[in-house]
Amino acid sequence: MDVHQRSLNAVGSSAPSGKSSKTKNEKHDSQSQPSLYLTNAVFFGLFFSVAYFLLHRWREKIRTSTPLHVLTISETVALLSLIASIFYLMAFFSISFVLHPFPVSRAVQYDEEDEEEVDRTTGSCLAGVTPKLPPLPSKTTVKKIAPAPVTVQLSSDDEEVVQAVVSGSIPSYSLETKLGDCRRAAAIRNQAVERVTGRSLEDLPMENFDYDSILGQCCEMPIGFVQIPVGVAGPLLLDGKEFTVPMATTEGCLVASTNRGCKAIYVSGGASAVVLRDGMTRAPVVRFNSAKRASQLKFFLEDPQNFDSLAHTFNKSSRFARLQNIKATIAGKNLYIRFTCSTGDAMGMNMVSKGVQNVLDFLQSDFPDMDVIGISGNYCSDKKAAAVNWIEGRGKSVVCEAVIKEEVVKKVLKTNVESLVELNMLKNLTGSAMAGALGGFNAHASNIVSAIYLATGQDPAQNVESSHCMTMMEAVNDGKDLHVSVTMPSIEVGTVGGGTELASQSACLNLLGVKGASKESPGANSRQLAIIVAGSVLAGELSLMSAIAAGQLVKSHMKYNRSSKDVTKIAS
């Protein structure tokens, strides 16, 4: 009985002791909270005040072209205070997680449930399938030539993945990431597409292509590649240099016709070309509450005194980007700002877009009411036929000319100077004007531009403005010889980036001697490529116009642009 009583007394005495300890801790926490709040308020205030001070000072340095690393005493103190406040705030938030940990068993349970919830709500690639993907198959030797299209052969492991893609358990777009093998991902996707659509892809080539080279750069979710034959025209004698021009096309007679034009130019002494302008453009659209306010930004941007600070901000985007000019136009309370800059050997759309974003961020401090609607407002104008490109130019503006001797016109082109001059005036100039053409005062410039663009890895959609061309023909030397020229204000090309990095396209650039970036003079290779495009267009215009003038267009297409299995019939 005494033992039992002592036990009860012990229990009773321990309970108040625990309660007393808990009360003391709560009292201590309540006493420490005011001081903690005060300390947090001080460091929060210090952080935002010195951050504002430093940003204000750096903006002034940018405007006055003062180096950012040159610091005054006040700026040094502010910088040290900023670092100290950052360390304190980081430590404070880190400690808050440590002070309230989960029990070990609860933490493990939380992670597992949370992972299942993420898979269920975000459509995880592995939802509903075994988490471990099949092992990668051993690499096999790739044949250099695929003699005939064959059905893609899959291993049993690949078959499991195909079924998962078809069922939707694994998203098609995630195959490269999940498998770590771009070739295998393309093969699996190829088969999944066949099964989902019920359409055969047997004739779409899969082998002999470097799928790693297009990942994150050229094409998403590949299932194969399309074959486009590449022919060569030339030699094209241009500015004293000979070029063999690669052309990727499926149109018969195009390469042959351009080749004939190259011959006429070559035997007449060659052509010459000049790059008139070199500048890529991007034009964002911004909006204000009034047209008056929009006009204030327009005047600010076009004021020569502000150009240096704007150019300094713009040029920070790249070591090759150099702002050339800014033009702005108003539509109501909306302002369209057209930036033009040089971009080295890159075509430069990404480069100029980054520079524009820098300037917009810079302007936001002086024009906080500026609402950026879009980084591109179509006043650029990219991949659209637009008068602004025809008049102001975009990319490389090139003029190319040649004098074709009278005997060459007769023997090689099978026509005469008078007929060519008359046809050009009535077809390319008057006829195009009657049609309301915009930049289309030519016979078929886009044919040659597209073929060279596909062969050299350019953006084929930019054929739209790049094919803007005016073809001129005039009798010279007492009417005996023919002066022919093409004026192309917006040839948009690059020799680095995008499709130029692919093996086939890189080989074609190498054939022209303009592969990669120019080490001696940045931008020289891309300008040379633009000149080659213009010279090739000159050859193509010369040959097609001659065929039309001589009445040979239909005859030549009937002879060379028809499929025949018996090549001896073509030769005859």
Selected catalytic residue, list 333, 354, 414, 557: 557
- Asked, as a colleague might, if the bond just before 381 is cis with ω within 30 of 0, I would say yes
CB-hemisphere CA count at 13 Å for 427? 18
Long-range pairs, 98-101, Cβ under 8 A, ≥24: none
483 is catalytic: no
Residue tagged active-site, from 207, 210, 251, 406: 251
Per the residue annotation, which of 160, 302, 459, 501 is the catalytic one? Answer: 459
Kindly name the residue from 178, 241, 383, 414 that is annotated as catalytic: 383
Is residue 461 within 8 A of residue 485, CB to CB? The reply is no
Within a 10 A sphere around the Cβ of 439, how many other Cβ atoms?
Answer: 23
What's 562's DSSP letter?
Answer: S
The question of whether 114 is a catalytic residue gets the answer no
Cβ-contact 252, 274 below 8 angstroms: no
Q: Per the structure block, which two tokens stand in for 292?
A: 């008056």
| Separation CA 316–CA 359 (nearest Å) | 10
* 206-to-148, 230, 453 alpha-carbon distances in Å: 11, 19, 23
Taking alpha carbons only, the member of 560, 541, 514, 17 closest to residue 251 is 560
Q: What is the DSSP string of 383-410?
A: SS--HHHHHH--EEEEEEEEEE-HHHHH
Instruction: Answer yes or no: 242 catalytic.
Output: no
Instruction: Please state whether beta strands 440-441 and 469-476 pair in parallel, antiparallel, or not at all (unpaired).
Output: parallel
The Cα–Cα gap between 219 and 225 comes to 10
∠ CA 157-161-166, nearest 5°, is 145
Among 234, 230, 238, 231, smallest CA distance to 534 is for 238
Instruction: Pull the structure tokens for residue 504.
Output: 């086939």
Active site residues: 251, 383, 459, 557
